[in-house]
Structure 1
Amino acid sequence: MHSDADASSFVSSSGPDTVRRIPPAANPPASAEVDPTALERRLAAIQARFDDLQAQVRQAQQLANLGTAAAMLAHEVNNLLTPVLSYAQAGLESHDPALREKALQTTVKHVQMLVNMAQRILKISAARTTSPETVGLGHVVHEAILSLGRDLGKDDIRLIVEVEESIQVYVDPIQLQQVLFNLLLNAREAMTPGGGKLRIEACRREGKAELRLTNSGRPIPPELLPHIFDPLQTTQSTGKEGQARCRGLGLALCRDLIESNGGSIEVSSSRERGTTFTLRLPLPPDEVGSQRTRRR
Structure 2
Amino acid sequence: MKITLLRLRALRLSFLLVTCLCSAQAFAQSVNTRVTADSLTIGEVFEYSIAIQFDREYQNVQYPDTNSFPSSLELLGRQQFRTSDFSDSLVYTLQYFNNEDVQISSMPITLYGTNDSSTVYTDPVSLYFKTVIAVGDTTLKPMKPNFAFARPWWPWVLAGLALAGFLLWWFKFNDQEKTESVDPEPQIEPFYNPLAELEKQLLAIKKESKVAETKNFKLFYSEVGDAIRAYFEDLYNIPALECTSSELLRYLDAYGVDDTLTEKTRLILRKADLVKFAKYTPTLEDAWQTYDYALEFLERAKLADSARIGRLKAKYNQQFMITSTQKDQGED
Instruction: With the length of structure 2 as denominator, give the TM-score of the two structures.
Output: 0.19
Find the structure with the greater CA-based Rg: 2
Of structures 1 and 2, the one scoring higher in RCO (CA 8 A, sep 6+) is: 1
Instruction: With the length of structure 1 as denominator, give the TM-score of the two structures.
Output: 0.21
